Amino acid sequence: MPVTAIVLAAGEGTRMKSRHPKVMHRMLGKPLAWWAVNSARKAGIERIVLVVGNGSDEVRSYFSADKDVEFVEQTERLGTGHAVRVVRDALGGFGGPVVVLSGDSPLVRPETIEALVAKSTSEHNACTVLTMTPPDVTGYGRVQTDESDAVQGIIEHKDCTPEQREKLLECNSGVYCFCGRRLSQNIDKVGNDNVQGEYYLTDMVGIYVGMGEPVACVHCDDYSELLGVNSRIQLAQATKIMQRRINEGLMARGVTMLDPDQVWVGPEATIGQDCVLLPQTFVWGKTSVGCDCTIGPNSRLENATVGNGCTVDETIIVDSSIDDDVNCGPRAYLRGGTHFCKGAKAGTHVELKNSTVGEGSKVPHLSYIGDTTMGAGVNIGGGSITCNYDGVHKNKTFIGDGAFIGSDTMMVAPVSIGADAITGASSCITKDVPAGALAIERSDEKIIAGYAAKRRERLEKGNK
Domain layout of the chain by residue ranges: 2-223, 249-437
Q: What is the per-residue pLDDT for 159? A: 82
Residue 445: pLDDT band with limits 50, 70, 90: confident
Q: Give the 3-state secondary structure of residue 215.
A: strand
Confirm if 433 and 451 have CB atoms less than 8 A apart: no
* Average pLDDT along the chain: 95
Helix boundaries (H) for 212-334: 232-252
Q: What is the pLDDT of residues 311-355, one digit of tens each?
A: 999 999 999 999 999 999 999 999 999 999 999 999 999 999 999
Task: From 191, 184, 186, 160, select the one nearest 78 (Cα to Cα).
Answer: 191
- 407 known member of a binding site: yes
In CATH, 249-437 is 3.40.50.970: no
Q: What is the pLDDT of residues 218-242, one digit of tens each?
A: 999 999 999 999 999 999 999 999 9
- 119 known member of a binding site: no
Q: Which of 20, 157, 365, 393 is labelled catalytic?
A: 365
Residue 9, pLDDT > 90, answer yes
- 230 known member of a binding site: yes
**Helices and strands of the chain, counted as H and E runs:** 9, 41
| C-alpha to C-alpha distance for 418 and 426, rounded to whole angstroms | 18
- 156 known member of a binding site: yes
Considering only residues 195 and 421, tell me which one the structure prediction assigns the higher pLDDT. 421
Task: From 235, 227, 247, select the one nearest 26 (Cα to Cα).
Answer: 235
- 463 known member of a binding site: no
- 389 known member of a binding site: yes
- 379 known member of a binding site: yes
Could you give the C-alpha distances from 206 to 24, 95, 152, 179, 190, in angstroms and in order? 33, 22, 6, 15, 10
| C-alpha to C-alpha distance for 128 and 350, rounded to whole angstroms | 57
**Superfamily (CATH) of domain 2-223:** Spore Coat Polysaccharide Biosynthesis Protein SpsA; Chain A (3.90.550.10)
Considering only residues 149 and 213, tell me which one the structure prediction assigns the higher pLDDT. 213
365 given a catalytic annotation? yes
Q: What is the per-residue pLDDT for 451? A: 93
Of the listed ranges 76-85, 192-201, 294-303, 323-332, the least confidently predicted one is: 192-201
Q: What is the per-residue pLDDT for 179? A: 97
Residue 166, pLDDT > 90, answer no
Q: What is the pTM of this model?
A: 0.90
Q: What is the per-residue pLDDT for 149? A: 67
| C-alpha to C-alpha distance for 37 and 373, rounded to whole angstroms | 41
% of the chain exceeding 70 in pLDDT: 99
Q: What is the per-residue pLDDT for 167? A: 86
Residue 291, pLDDT > 80, answer yes
Q: What is the pLDDT of residues 14-33, one digit of tens each?
A: 999 999 999 999 999 999 99
Residue 460, pLDDT > 90, answer no
- 442 known member of a binding site: yes
Residue 267, pLDDT > 80, answer yes
Q: What is the per-residue pLDDT for 464? A: 62
Q: What is the pLDDT of residues 381-438, one digit of tens each?
A: 999 999 999 999 999 999 999 999 999 999 999 999 999 999 999 999 999 999 999 9
Provide long-range contacts, Cβ within 8 A and 24+ apart, for 88-91.
88/183, 88/184, 88/187, 91/4, 91/49
Average pLDDT over residues 358-380: 98
Cβ contacts of 36 within 8 Å, gap of 6 or more: 7, 9, 101, 102, 103, 105, 106, 108
Query: Exposed, middle or buried by CB within 10 Å (0-12, 13-18, 19+), for 147?
Result: exposed
List, as one string, the DSSP characters of 288-310. Answer: EE-SS-EE-SSEEEES-EE-SS-
Angle at 189 between CA 185 and CA 195, to 5 degrees: 150
